[in-house]
Homo-oligomer: A and B are copies of this chain.
């Protein structure tokens, strides 16, 4: 049964990368022992039905990613890594939800500009086609590792200074408060998953073939009027989305 283990040749993804993906998954589960030590390369090679060289290439890639650390003579060890949990609910806040999960959480404004609303944005925000919007590009990091990349749109006439407010406060919620929005809530959220595109691999420091969780969200004011539309790309291997039910204590 030490056969191909489901790996495919000639499918455009090298065996060592397929194995790296499997090991990355297995790391959370049963692959490592209590001390976080991986089985020896020869055993992994046999289990995956490949040559030891191929397993070494996979481990090398994961070591470069920071997932594993190989030590000559001692074995290969899993480096501590926690997924961040991003709560989604009626009262979802961009950074508040992640608080306490990391020492150093940052939201950095990469760029901002005014632009005419695309059909998608216009419909979401309830604007006339081509009405002007303010668009922000925000990079979220935890302990120096980028975890999310968000594009946010606001009505330019209602929130002319949103970019300034965000730069000064480092928080969308605060920036909205200074724009006169005392409270807001999440009206709709959709989630998809895609392969990282060029911008993702650059900003989130991902390798080709890596996965991003793709979240579309619309926030509304207490009257139900749309105030903010956003597309957020999360580095999928660093994040879990937690969907909060209204009553139940979203336990886990």
A residues in contact (CB < 8 Å) with B: 5-8, 11-14, 16-18, 20-22, 25, 57, 61, 83, 85, 88, 90, 185-195, 197-199, 201-202, 207-209, 211-213, 218, 220, 224, 236-237, 239-243, 245-248, 250-252
Determine how many copies of this chain the complex contains: 2
- Whether the pair B14, A13 counts as a contact (CB closer than 8 A) is yes
Q: A5, A90, A245, A248 — which one has the most chain B CB atoms within 10 A of its CB?
A: A245
B contact residues around A247 at 8 Å (CB): 90
Known: A13-B207, A25-B197. 5 other contacts (CB 8 A): A6-B202, A12-B20, A190-B252, A191-B243, A246-B246
A20 CA / B243 CA spacing, docked (Å): 32
B contact residues around A16 at 8 Å (CB): 12
Task: Assess A236 versus B8: contact at CB under 8 Å? Given A17-B13, A209-B209, A248-B188.
Answer: no
Chain A: interface secondary structure? mixed
**Chain B min CB distance to A80 (Å):** 19
A248 CA / B241 CA spacing, docked (Å): 20
A195 CA / B22 CA spacing, docked (Å): 8
**Chain B min CB distance to A151 (Å):** 14
**Chain B min CB distance to A64 (Å):** 11
- Whether the pair B190, A242 counts as a contact (CB closer than 8 A) is yes
Task: Assess A13 versus B88: contact at CB under 8 Å? Given A25-B197, A191-B241, A248-B188.
Answer: no
- Can you list the 10 inter-chain pairs with the closest CB atoms, starting with the nearest? A6-B198, A12-B17, A193-B193, A193-B236, A189-B243, A21-B195, A191-B241, A13-B209, A12-B14, A246-B246
**Chain B min CB distance to A116 (Å):** 15
- Whether the pair B209, A194 counts as a contact (CB closer than 8 A) is no
| Residue in contact with A25 in the complex, picked from B13, B21, B195, CB distance below 8 Å | B195
B contact residues around A5 at 8 Å (CB): 198
In the complex, what residue of chain B is closest to A10 when comparing beta carbons?
B14
